[in-house]
């Protein structure tokens, strides 16, 4: 069994109102990782990715570009040690 990792990312720029959460979920489902994504009141997007290290890294790289309607200015990534064993990837409201 592959070791899992978990990272939390905060994306700033034009990332709300451009389907960032939906596209993040679609990409996470395509790659095969679990966790969640949500809008933050300051206009940023926060996500938690958990799964195979290579896939989680791939997802973090995707966030640096984001969906076509977005403009990503900065991505802050933090590795977390606690795993939640998420079974799905969800959009939180």
Residue entry with tokens 């095969």:
32
What tokens does 35 get? 């966790």
* Beta-strand runs (E) in 2-58: 5-14, 34-39, 45-51
Answer for the pair 88, 41: CB distance below 8 angstroms, yes or no: no
Instruction: Choose the catalytic residue: 21, 30, 34, 71.
Output: 21
Instruction: Choose the catalytic residue: 8, 14, 38, 39.
Output: 39
Q: Is 76 a catalytic residue?
A: no
| Spatial CA neighbour of 59 closest among 27, 86, 22, 85 | 27
Q: Is 14 a catalytic residue?
A: no
List, in sequence order, every residue forming a beta bridge with 19; answer none if it has no partner.
none
Q: Which residues are catalytic?
A: 21, 39
């Amino acid at each position: 069994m592959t070791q899992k990792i978990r990272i939390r990312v905060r994306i700033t720029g034009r990332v709300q109102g451009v389907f960032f959460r939906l596209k993040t979920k679609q990409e996470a489902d395509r790659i095969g990782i679990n966790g969640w994504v949500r809008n933050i009141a300051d206009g940023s997007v926060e996500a938690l990715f958990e799964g195979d290290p290579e896939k989680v890294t791939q997802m973090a790289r995707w966030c640096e570009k984001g969906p076509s309607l977005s403009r990503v200015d900065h991505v802050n990534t933090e590795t977390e040690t606690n795993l939640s064993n998420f079974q799905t990837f969800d959009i939180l409201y």
